[in-house]
Amino acid sequence: MPPRSPRRSPKAGERQRDPERTQALILDAATAEFAAHGYAGARVSTIAKRAGVNQQLISYYFDGKEGLAKAISDRWRKREDELVPADTPLPEQVRRYALESLSNPAGVRLLAWSGLEYDGPDGDPDQDARAERLRGNIDGLRALQQEGRLPEGVDPAVLAVMLMGAAMAPVVLPHVVKGLCGADATSEDFLRPYADQLAVLVEALIEPGK
């Protein structure tokens, strides 16, 4: 990871602007840039241009590129809490994650990039928080298994990986969607029926014969 640039204070006039709005603009621009090019390929200068701010403000508010990445991860965790509250049934959880490609395609692309750029836990500052969130998902699957609603031969951890991959497939495999379904993987006409189909499959898995 490249060394951080020195943190410099912006001019007084810049600091007097609405700081919350400015930070939101920067985070939106950073999300778009990271989604397009990944962490390694993203440029802070381009993020500043996208946001329409002086580059020094990025250092001032976020302490550079690494701080931006952490802030985006924090934002996604809050979004997840809104997207799938703790009492959301599993089929609906999968459906909502798949539909996230409609309202937040950059967020799904960021998740894909984080996997492509992953080189081990030492270089992943979000590793512990992500593992904690994923353990919660697996615990939910294990509970279903203990209730007899999930076949005993199914590994809950492996199933969680499969479901995440299926929810992200329209974003990471648009060429396959086009080839097999003849559809635009980013379109609402494809994504809504696709999300419904995933929910039906998960329902069939946990409620066989229903």
pLDDT score, position 126: 67
- pTM equals 0.79
The model's confidence at residue 114, banded by pLDDT at 50, 70 and 90, is confident
CB under 8 A, 24+ apart: contacts of 12-21: 14/53, 14/54, 14/56, 14/57, 15/60, 19/61
pLDDT of 118 strictly over 70: yes
Both 111 and 200 in a single domain?
yes
For residue 129, the enclosing domain spans 84-210
16 or 82, higher pLDDT: 82
Domain count for the chain: 2
For the chain, list the strands marked E by DSSP.
Answer: none
For 160-204, write each residue's pLDDT tens digit. 999 999 999 999 999 999 999 999 999 999 999 999 999 999 999
- Picking from 43, 71, 99, the residue at the C-terminal end of a domain is 71
**Torsion from C-alpha of 192, 198, 204, 207, nearest 10 degrees:** -90
CATH number at residue 17: 1.10.357.10
| 149 within domain boundaries | yes
Which sign, positive or negative, has the C-alpha torsion 80, 84, 85, 90? negative
- Decide if 143 is inside a domain: yes
**Which residue is associated with the tokens 């996230």?**
100
Give me the chain's average pLDDT, please: 86
Residue 142 CA to residue 161 CA, distance in Å, equals: 14
- CA dist 72 and 2 (Å) reads 19
53's CB contacts (< 8 A; 6+ apart) are: 14, 22, 25, 26
In a domain, 78, yes or no: no
